[in-house]
Amino acid sequence: MTRNFVVDEKSVGKRLDMFLLDNFAEFTRSHIKNLIEKGLVLVNEKPRKAGFSLKKDMLVSIEVQEPEKVSTEAEDVDFEIIYQDKDLAVINKPQGLVVHPCSSTKSGTLVNGLLYRIKDLSGINGELRPGIVHRLDKDTSGLLLIAKNDFAHVNLAEQIKNKTCHRNYLALLEGNLKCEEGRIETYIKRDPKDRKKMSVQSDGRVAITDYKVLKRFDKTCLVEFSLQTGRTHQIRVHAKHLNHPVVGDKLYGKEVKGLVGQLLHAYKIEFTHPRTGKIMKFEAKLPDYFENYLKKQ
């Protein structure tokens, strides 16, 4: 069903997403953002970004899609809790596990498992993402910070924003990088040709990744990545930008027989404990499938 609105005097200068929030109180901001990114919102018959500034008498059309029901029930989901105290937990997410419920995965996610295994979780991100401070892609394994109260959540989120929380990844890349180490600095946004992808575009958000080659093989290289920003699919997009996609990355590279997803693992995290001020460091070894693939190189 399509609904149309004409921008009146009081809505002049308002952002498109905020205008829609005012007219659809039942929709969340993330749902509206999703509709805009899918091209289901038009202004004068043209798709516009969420931050587009409206002018008087513009016609805003939206194809209304009701949010799909997802489960926030506690479920017994398999993942490793490396550490926890009254404020936070550090977990090791296995490859293939989706972080939170969404339209394509309505249950059996990490959030469902957290609700089953951890009594208290922060509520800042709403009922669909309790405790989730940052994310990992479904087929990326490794360390994630979980906040057990809002005090810890705000503090940890600020550390990530201010780059005082350090996250390091290991990835096996196709081919061999020319340099031993370096910094990739680009701008990333949603790919206009494929909404499942992100891509390097001049009008995107700044994305910075440092890298260091740890070991070279005949047709691949093992690389350590350090995130300086946290854009969606950042390492995967930057690896493709270097013309050396992550091995097994079906979205940005090519499918590899015997692998279900990309060889990308968040192996190390360092942050300051929100309450004690103590420096916390954790590492998670490479999953067996990653180690076994390396042995064949």
- Per-residue pLDDT, 52: 95
Tell me if 110 sits within 8 A of 80, measured CB to CB.
Answer: no
Please confirm, yes or no, whether 17 is among the known catalytic residues: no
- Per-residue pLDDT, 138: 93
- Per-residue pLDDT, 136: 93
Please tell me which residue in 17, 87, 137, 249 is annotated as part of the active site.
137
Pairing assessment for the beta strands 205-216 and 181-190 based on DSSP bridges? antiparallel
- Per-residue pLDDT, 126: 64
- Per-residue pLDDT, 103: 63
- Per-residue pLDDT, 100: 79
pLDDT tens per residue across all 297 residues of the chain: 788 999 999 899 999 998 988 887 556 677 788 889 888 899 999 999 999 999 999 999 998 755 455 557 888 999 999 999 999 999 999 999 998 777 666 788 998 988 899 878 887 666 657 888 998 999 999 999 999 999 999 999 999 989 999 999 999 999 999 999 999 999 998 887 887 889 999 988 899 999 999 999 999 999 999 999 989 999 999 999 999 999 999 999 999 999 999 999 999 999 999 999 999 999 999 999 999 999 999
For domain 163-297, the CATH class is alpha beta
* Identical topology for domains 68-162 and 163-297: yes
Distance CA 41, CA 17 (A): 10
- Under DSSP, the state recorded for 245 is P
| DSSP one-letter string for 161-230 | HTT-SEEEEEEEEES--SSSEEEEEEEEEE-TT-TT-EEE-TTSEEEEEEEEEEEE-SSEEEEEEEESS-
Domain boundaries, the chain: 2-63, 68-162, 163-297
- The CB-based long-range contact list for 130-133 (8 Å cut-off, 24+ gap) reads 130/72, 131/89, 132/99, 132/100, 133/157, 133/160
For domain 2-63, the CATH class is alpha beta
Please state the CATH superfamily assignment of the domain spanning residues 68-162 in this structure. Pseudouridine synthase (3.30.2350.10)
The residues that bridge with 89 in the sheet, in sequence order, are: 84, 146
- Per-residue pLDDT, 188: 93
- Per-residue pLDDT, 275: 96
- Per-residue pLDDT, 128: 59
